[in-house]
């Protein structure tokens, strides 16, 4: 049995647990700490260190990040502090914790976990996981092999930025009922279906807990669709799985210059169309607590 600590950095909470990577099962209760206000690198690093110490872990650690991650460097920061852009986060977390840390995009981690231990287990061919929450995260997997950093939530549907129009936050902000939201989601999924022809869509994120409200309302041409199975554990499990595959590998040399991706700029059309951005007030940090 190989046990690796998985940590999932989210907008409201940072949670972790040790994972048996042969079964995908957590070997201890998750521990969650609220995400520090502003999600600055130094503050988030402090929480990650606290989680490592809580589990008294000294081996490899896998960590998810809500943005583009290339060779351990974070290249976008759509919902966290801009200080993450161009940061060698692998090195930052490794030096802070004394552990061998490997960073992966949060949706990619969830996709790995669902494909092996969750809703996509045993499904051959192309599997696409989409997380509908504050934005839309995506993971593209072909016969178990991940294509990282697809960022398909930033596609355009005519004059609409996909995640600003079809995410769960958009549903809440536009006060849509489930039928109205499902119509938008169907338009988005049909576009992805045309581009990638996946054998299976797995729908994760916050809405996966409410699948009975929207599942029968989604319309697709030929692909199958099912809700995610691992729910809150997917990011933790996938992060641990990724760390296991990367442990022992020599990390590529970091280029002298790295061009970071400013998502808020790439998601604004040259014609002048601007995306609607919203934010929710941050809450003060509360004491750590157990989650089940």
Alpha-carbon span 104 to 106, nearest angstrom: 6
pLDDT at 9: 95
pLDDT at 120: 96
pLDDT at 134: 86
pTM: 0.86
Alpha helices in the chain (DSSP H): 41-54, 89-97, 106-117, 162-166, 168-173, 178-196, 211-214, 234-246, 263-266
Alpha-carbon span 195 to 190, nearest angstrom: 9
pLDDT at 1: 73
Residue 107: exposed, middle, or buried by beta-carbon count in 10 A (0-12, 13-18, 19+)?
buried
Residues 6 or more apart whose CB falls under 8 angstroms from that of 89 comprise: 41, 63, 65, 69, 72, 73, 74, 103
Kindly list the structural domains of the chain, giving each domain's residue range(s) and its CATH number in brackets, ordered by start.
Answer: 3-107+235-290 (3.30.420.40), 121-229 (3.30.420.40)
Alpha-carbon span 150 to 174, nearest angstrom: 26
Q: Which of 258, 290, 252 is nearest to 102 (CA)?
A: 252
Alpha-carbon span 276 to 82, nearest angstrom: 19
The radius of gyration of the chain's CA atoms, rounded to the nearest angstrom, is: 18
Tens-binned pLDDT, residue by residue, of the chain (292 aa):
799 999 999 888 999 999 999 999 999 999 999 999 999 999 999 999 999 999 999 999 999 999 999 999 999 987 799 999 999 999 999 999 999 999 999 999 999 999 999 999 999 999 999 999 989 999 999 999 999 999 999 999 999 999 999 999 999 999 999 999 999 999 999 999 999 999 999 999 889 999 999 999 999 999 999 999 998 899 999 999 999 999 988 777 666 556 665 555 445 444 344 444 444 444 444 455 555 4
pLDDT at 185: 98
pLDDT at 275: 41
Alpha-carbon span 19 to 3, nearest angstrom: 5
> DSSP letters of 154-173?
G-EETTEEHHHHHSHHHHHH
């Amino acid at each position: 049995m190989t046990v690796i600590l998985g940590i999932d950095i989210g907008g409201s909470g940072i949670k972790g647990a040790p994972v048996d990577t042969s079964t995908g099962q957590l070997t201890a209760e998750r521990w969650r700490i609220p995400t520090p206000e502003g999600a600055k690198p130094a503050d988030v690093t402090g929480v990650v260190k606290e989680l490592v110490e809580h589990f008294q872990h000294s081996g490899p650690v896998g960590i998810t990040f809500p943005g583009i991650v290339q060779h351990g460097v974070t290249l976008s920061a759509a919902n966290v502090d801009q200080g993450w852009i161009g940061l060698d986060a692998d090195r930052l977390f490794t030096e802070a914790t004394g552990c061998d840390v490997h960073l992966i995009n949060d949706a990619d981690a969830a996709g790995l976990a669902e494909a092996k231990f969750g809703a996509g287990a045993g499904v051959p061919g192309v599997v696409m996981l989409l997380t509908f929450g504050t934005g839309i995260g995506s993971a593209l997997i072909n016969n178990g092999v991940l294509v990282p950093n697809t960022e398909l939530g930033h596609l355009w549907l005519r004059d609409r930025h996909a995640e600003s129009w079809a995410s769960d936050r958009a549903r809440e902000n536009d006060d849509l009922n489930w039928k109205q939201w499902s119509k938008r989601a169907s338009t988005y999924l049909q576009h992805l279906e045309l581009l990638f022809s996946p054998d299976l869509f797995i729908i994760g994120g916050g809405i996966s807990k409410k699948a009975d409200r929207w599942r029968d309302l989604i319309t697709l041409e030929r692909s199958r669709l099912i809700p995610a199975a691992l729910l809150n554990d997917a990011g933790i499990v996938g992060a641990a799985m990724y760390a296991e595959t990367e442990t022992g590998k020599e990390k590529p040399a970091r280029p002298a210059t790295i061009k970071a991706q400013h998502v808020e700029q790439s998601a604004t059309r040259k014609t002048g169309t601007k995306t609607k951005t919203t934010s929710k007030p941050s809450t003060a940090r509360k004491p750590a607590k157990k989650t089940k």
